[in-house]
C-alpha cells in the first residue's frame, strides 16, 4: 500500500456517459479502434506489468479517498481500459514513476480504473481524458490542474516544481551539465547575489512556469563556463540555436515571455507527444505545413518554412504535419485537404471560435509564407470556409443534400421549414440515425412547406452555424428573421414528426443564431470508441 502524501496527482481517464464533444484532432479512426479492440486485452495486460514495480494500485474509491487525505506523497492515474490515449500515456507515466523511484523520491504513483471508480472521477469533476490534477496536503477542495506535456520528463519536471524549490541551486559544473542534459529545455539564472532583487524576480518567474526546469547559481566557475560576464538568464535547448540569452528590462512578465517564446522549436512537428505543448501554449495562432516526409523537396520546403518562422517568434506558432502518417489523416480532413494536395499551407486561430485561413498561393517559399502571415496579422485575410461542389442530384432524393455553396439558399428559404442533420461520415451515432432520417424524408417529401436535408460538416463549413458535435440537428423555420432552433427531443421518427408538426416547439431547445455549445453533447458509451477525443483547452 502507498505511503502517506502531502502531494497528490490524479491522472483521470473518464468520460461522463452523457457528455461528448467532437474535436477533429485526437479522434482515433474506426480502423485504429478496431485494431485496438483486438489487441486490447494484450495491451492492457502489458501495461499492468509495466506498472507493477513502480506504481501502486488502488481499486476501491473509499480507499482512494482516505489515501488522498492521509498519505504523505501520492499520485493517482485514473484510467479507462478502452481509452487509447490513456494507453499511450501509460508507458510515459510508468517511466516517470521509475525516475522518481531512482531519485529516492517519496512520491508514490498509483493507478485507478475510472470505469470502476466513476464516483471518484465525478467527485473531482473529470469530464475528459486524460485529466491530471494535483492535490497538496490532501486538500481535495482546490486541486491544481496539470498543464504540462505527456512525456515522462514533463511529468517529472512538473512534480519537482510542485514538491521542491522553483529553481534548483547549483554550484558545480557537473550538476549544471547534468541538468542541461536532462531536458529538452532548461533555464539557468546567473546572479552574483542570489538574495538580490533580480534573483527574486527570477524565482517568481520560475514559480509560474511548470513545464521547464529552472536553476540558479552565483558560482564564478559557472559564470566562466557559460561565458557569462554579468548577471543574466540563459535558456538552453537541444534544438535550433542551442541557447538564448535574455535581453531587455528584467521583469517577471518579460522573463515569462522570454521562456514561452523560446521553449518550442521554430517549427514543431505535430505528434501525440507534442500536442499538449502546441495546444496548451499561449500562442493561439498556428500556421501549419502539410508535407510528406518522403517528398524529394521535403528538406527545402521545411527550411523555407523555418526561415519564415523566424519573423513571427512569439506571435505565430509554426507546425509541421507529416501528411503521410495515418493518424494525421483526420487533421487533413479537418482542413479539407487530401494527401495528394500536399504540400500545403493553412492558418488557424484557436480563440473562442476556430477560424481557418488559406493562402492565395500554395507555393512553399519564404516570401509567400511571410506575406500570408503578415496579411493575417494586419487583418487583411478573410476566413476560408470549406465546401464541396453542389451535387447534380442534390434535390432529387427525399433527403436533400446540402453543401457550403447551397446552404444559405436552402436553409434560410423564407417560404419553408427546413430540418437539417449535420453529420460526419465516420460518426457511429450518425450511422445509426441515417435510416430514421431517410424515413423522415420519405414521410415529408410530398409536403412542399417542409424540407428534410443533411450536410457533411467535415467538408462543408457555414459561417452562421458552428458545429461542435455529431450528429447535430437544427431547424430553420420559415420567415425572414433567420431563426435557428436546436432539436433536443427523441431521435425517433415519431419524435421528429411531432417536432415538425408543432413548428419546432415540441422537442426544440432555445433559439440561437450562434449555435449552442453546452447543449450539443452526444451520448457516448465506452464501446463506441470511433468518436472519442482527448479533452484539451483548445483543439483543432
pTM for the whole thing?
A: 0.63
Under CATH, which architecture does the 400-511 domain have?
3-Layer(aba) Sandwich (3.40)
Check whether 38 has a pLDDT greater than 70: no
What fold, for 5-150?
Glutaredoxin (3.40.30)
Check whether 86 has a pLDDT greater than 90: no
Look up the CATH superfamily of 274-377: Glutaredoxin (3.40.30.10)
State the catalytic residues: 83, 86, 427, 430
116 CB contacts (<8 Å, ≥6 apart)? Answer: 59
- Answer yes or no: are the C-beta atoms of 212 and 259 closer than 8 Å: yes
For β-strands 354-357 and 317-322, DSSP reports them as unpaired
Phi, psi of 201 (to 5 degrees): -60, -45
Q: Where in the chain is the domain with CATH 3.40.30.10?
A: 5-150, 165-262, 274-377, 400-511
Under CATH, which architecture does the 165-262 domain have?
3-Layer(aba) Sandwich (3.40)
pLDDT band of 523, cuts 50, 70, 90: very low
Check whether 19 has a pLDDT greater than 90: no
Query: CA 121 to CA 117: how far, in whole Å?
Result: 7
* Strands of 485-487's sheet in order across: 400-402, 450-456, 417-423, 472-476, 485-487, 508-511
Nine cell digits for residue 493: 421518427
Mean pLDDT calculated for residue range 129-140: 71
Q: What average pLDDT is seen over the chain?
A: 80
pLDDT at 68: 52
Check whether 50 has a pLDDT greater than 70: no
H helix or E strand, kind and range, residue 507: none
Closest CA to 86 of 53, 122, 126, 125: 126
- Answer yes or no: are the C-beta atoms of 156 and 213 closer than 8 Å: no
pLDDT at 373: 97
67-81, 91-105, 143-157, 217-231 — most confident range: 217-231
pLDDT band of 70, cuts 50, 70, 90: low
SS3 466: coil
In eight-state DSSP terms, residue 465 is B
Mean pLDDT calculated for residue range 198-210: 93
Check whether 454 has a pLDDT greater than 80: yes
pLDDT band of 530, cuts 50, 70, 90: very low
pLDDT, greater one: 201 or 464? 201
Check whether 1 has a pLDDT greater than 70: no
Check whether 63 has a pLDDT greater than 70: no
Nine cell digits for residue 366: 519564404
pLDDT at 152: 87
- At 252-303, the pLDDT tens digits run 999 999 998 899 999 999 988 788 788 877 889 999 999 999 999 999 999 9
HSE of 213 in the Cβ direction (CA atoms, 13 Å)? 25
Amino acid at each position: 500500500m502507498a505511503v502517506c502524501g502531502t502531494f497528490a496527482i490524479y491522472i483521470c481517464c473518464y468520460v461522463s456517459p452523457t457528455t461528448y464533444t467532437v474535436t477533429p484532432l485526437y479522434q482515433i479512426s474506426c480502423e485504429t479502434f478496431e485494431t485496438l479492440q483486438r489487441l486490447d486485452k494484450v495491451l492492457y495486460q502489458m501495461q499492468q506489468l509495466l506498472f507493477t514495480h513502480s506504481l501502486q494500485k488502488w481499486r476501491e474509491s473509499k480507499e482512494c479517498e482516505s489515501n488522498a487525505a492521509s498519505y504523505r506523497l501520492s499520485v493517482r492515474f485514473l484510467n479507462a481500459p478502452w481509452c487509447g490515449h490513456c494507453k499511450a500515456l501509460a508507458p510515459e507515466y510508468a517511466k516517470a514513476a521509475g525516475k522518481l523511484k531512482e531519485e529516492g523520491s517519496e512520491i508514490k504513483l498509483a493507478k485507478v480504473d475510472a470505469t470502476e471508480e466513476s464516483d471518484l472521477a465525478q467527485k473531482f469533476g473529470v469530464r475528459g481524458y486524460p485529466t491530471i490534477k494535483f492535490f497538496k496536503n490532501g486538500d481535495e477542495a482546490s486541486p491544481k490542474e496539470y498543464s504540462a506535456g505527456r512525456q515522462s520528463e514533463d511529468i517529472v519536471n512538473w512534480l519537482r516544481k510542485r514538491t521542491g524549490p522553483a529553481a534548483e541551486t547549483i554550484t558545480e559544473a557537473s550538476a549544471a551539465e547534468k541538468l542541461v542534459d536532462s531536458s529538452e529545455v532548461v533555464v539557468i539564472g546567473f546572479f552574483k547575489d542570489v538574495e538580490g532583487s533580480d534573483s527574486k524576480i527570477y524565482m517568481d518567474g520560475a514559480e509560474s512556469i511548470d513545464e521547464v526546469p529552472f536553476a540558479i547559481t552565483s558560482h564564478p566557475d559557472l559564470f566562466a563556463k557559460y561565458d557569462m560576464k554579468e548577471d543574466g538568464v540563459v535558456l538552453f535547448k537541444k534544438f535550433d540555436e542551442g541557447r538564448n540569452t535574455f535581453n531587455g528590462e528584467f521583469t517577471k512578465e518579460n522573463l515569462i515571455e522570454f521562456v514561452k517564446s523560446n521553449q518550442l522549436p521554430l517549427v514543431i512537428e505535430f505528434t501525440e507527444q507534442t500536442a499538449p505543448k502546441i495546444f496548451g501554449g499561449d500562442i493561439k495562432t498556428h500556421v501549419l505545413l502539410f508535407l510528406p516526409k518522403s517528398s524529394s523537396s521535403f528538406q527545402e520546403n521545411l527550411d523555407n518554412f523555418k526561415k519564415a518562422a523566424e519573423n513571427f517568434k512569439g506571435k505565430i506558432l509554426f507546425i509541421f504535419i507529416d501528411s503521410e502518417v495515418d493518424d494525421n489523416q483526420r487533421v487533413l480532413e479537418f482542413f479539407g485537404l487530401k494527401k495528394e494536395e500536399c504540400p500545403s499551407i493553412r492558418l488557424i486561430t484557436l480563440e473562442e471560435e476556430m477560424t481557418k485561413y488559406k493562402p492565395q498561393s500554395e507555393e512553399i517559399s519564404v516570401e509567400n509564407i511571410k506575406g500570408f502571415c503578415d496579411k493575417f496579422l494586419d487583418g487583411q485575410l478573410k476566413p476560408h470556409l470549406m465546401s464541396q461542389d453542389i451535387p447534380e442530384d442534390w434535390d432529387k432524393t427525399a433527403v436533400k443534400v446540402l453543401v457550403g455553396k447551397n446552404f444559405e439558399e436552402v436553409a434560410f428559404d423564407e417560404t419553408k421549414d427546413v430540418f437539417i442533420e449535420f453529420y460526419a461520415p465516420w460518426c457511429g451515432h450518425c450511422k445509426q440515425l441515417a435510416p430514421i432520417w431517410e424515413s423522415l424524408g420519405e414521410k415529408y417529401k410530398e409536403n412542399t412547406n417542409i424540407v428534410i436535408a443533411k450536410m457533411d460538416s467535415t467538408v462543408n463549413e457555414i459561417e452562421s452555424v458552428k458545429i461542435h458535435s455529431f450528429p447535430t440537428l437544427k431547424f430553420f423555420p420559415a420567415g425572414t428573421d433567420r431563426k435557428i432552433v436546436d432539436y433536443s427531443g427523441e431521435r425517433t421518427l415519431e419524435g421528429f414528426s411531432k417536432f415538425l408538426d408543432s413548428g419546432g416547439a415540441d422537442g426544440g431547445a432555445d433559439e440561437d443564431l450562434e449555435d449552442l455549445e453546452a447543449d450539443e453533447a452526444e451520448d457516448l458509451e465506452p464501446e463506441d470508441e470511433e468518436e472519442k477525443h482527448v479533452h484539451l483547452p483548445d483543439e483543432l
